[in-house]
A = this chain, B = another copy of it.
Amino acid sequence: MTATVPDPAVASGREPASGALGVAVLGHSFMGKAHSNAWRNVNAFYPTPRVAQKVLVGRDAGHVAEAARRYGWEESGTDWRSVLERDDIHVVDICTPGHLHADMAVAALEAGKHVLVEKPLANTVAEAERMVAAAAAARARGVRAMVGFNYRRVPALALARDLIADGRVGRVRQVRVSYLQDWLADEHAPMTWRLRRETAGSGALGDLASHAVDQVRFLLDSPVTSVSGTLTTFVPTRQGADGPEPVTVDDAAWATLRTASGAVVSLEVSRCATGRKNALQIEVYGSLGGLRFDLERLNELELFDAAAAPGTQGYGRVLVTEETHPYVGAWWPPGHVLGWDHTFTSQAADLLRAIDTGAPAAPGFEDGLEVQRVLGAVTDSAARSGATVHL
């Protein structure tokens, strides 16, 4: 005996008449794949409103059709503006290159769609400010806007934030955050659009430091108030399609930040850190304890408790896979580790919960803007020989 699956959600009244929130994703390459994975799976793990994978949008009709088929979308399309006119689309998820974010997000918000924008929020502070204004206006109409700092949904980092908020490490004094990759360590790695200022805005700074700065703000819950920094391009020329071409963005960046709460943060990001693949590493030192995290081992958090019994203190390796840990209850039993992509599914769940309950979506566009301002201050300080810039 079989039965077609009923949809209890319809009866809950939380969703529109169609029985599910219709989602559109704009962009279908790396981030589009990751976000598609999130929408395909979110209802299987989280008790959120139901979603329908309505449409995937891209520039090339053939490519996007193939991607839509693979990733589980009902339809594909090439005209993002027409998507905004559809009544069956309730959420617009923007995974396009950064310079397109502002126009798409503002239009979507004005059309009454809830919006998720992949990080960084925008390429410039001006764009980001325009987006924040649109989000504020939309919020008044019950529309949610979120920026995709997905690492906030790494259980170990969410746990770290909780522990800090609960005072488990005391007053946070010193933070070390680095995000190290090595895909440009080889000087023969070719030129790409990511290495031109006009297309990419910046290099490691925008790409990697944006995550790092957001984590500092997330973990410490305190704004950055001043910045001293420097930038470097280790390989100034790379081989392009038409011969050698100058690299006009940074390969690596360094900064010292101070927060309103009195912490000092050292920040270092690089695409030339040979042998490091995706090493977002964070150390937090407080008056009562310390924390350490490495994205390459994202299921683990190291914790030092200065109040533990003398003689047996030491950094403990917490496997953050217990049911009581943030986000973990939705997934698997203890010891069954999560991967990178699970963060996007949890992010989608958070957005859906915000839509459902009317709570603010976090991180909001304001958070994205603040990160942009800190990155801008690094650039400014670097241009001034490292002199401190106040925010």
Chain A interfacial positions (CB closer than 8 Å to B):
1-8, 30, 33-34, 36-37, 40-41, 43-44, 55, 61, 65-66, 68-79, 82-83, 159, 163, 168-169, 173-174, 176, 178, 180-183, 185-187, 228, 230, 232, 234, 252, 254, 256, 264, 266, 268, 270, 272-279, 283, 285-290, 295-299, 302-306, 308, 310-319, 321-322, 324-325, 331-342, 381, 384-388
What is the chain B residue whose CB lies nearest that of A264?
B232
Neighbour of A264 across the interface among B7, B73, B174, B230, CB < 8 A: B230
User: Would you call B314 and A318 a contact (CB within 8 A)?
Assistant: yes
User: Would you call B306 and A186 a contact (CB within 8 A)?
Assistant: yes
Rounded to whole Å, the gap between the CB of A203 and the closest CB of chain B is 14
Rounded to whole Å, the gap between the CB of A289 and the closest CB of chain B is 6
Neighbour of A274 across the interface among B254, B288, B321, CB < 8 A: B288
User: Would you call A313 and B318 a contact (CB within 8 A)?
Assistant: yes
What is the chain B residue whose CB lies nearest that of A304?
B275
CB-defined contacts of A77 to chain B, threshold 8 Å: 1-3
User: Would you call B268 and A266 a contact (CB within 8 A)?
Assistant: yes
User: Would you call B37 and A41 a contact (CB within 8 A)?
Assistant: yes
Neighbour of A277 across the interface among B286, B297, B331, B335, CB < 8 A: B335
What is the chain B residue whose CB lies nearest that of A296?
B319
CB<8 Å pairs between A and B, sample of 26: A2-B75, A2-B83, A3-B65, A5-B74, A6-B65, A7-B69, A34-B332, A36-B44, A37-B41, A159-B311, A185-B306, A186-B306, A187-B287, A254-B256, A266-B266, A274-B285, A276-B285, A277-B319, A277-B335, A296-B319, A299-B339, A308-B316, A310-B324, A315-B316, A332-B341, A339-B341
CB-defined contacts of A176 to chain B, threshold 8 Å: 178, 268
User: Would you call B287 and A185 a contact (CB within 8 A)?
Assistant: yes
CB-defined contacts of A1 to chain B, threshold 8 Å: 61, 77-79, 82
What separation, in Å, do the CA atoms of A334 and B270 have in the docked complex?
A: 15
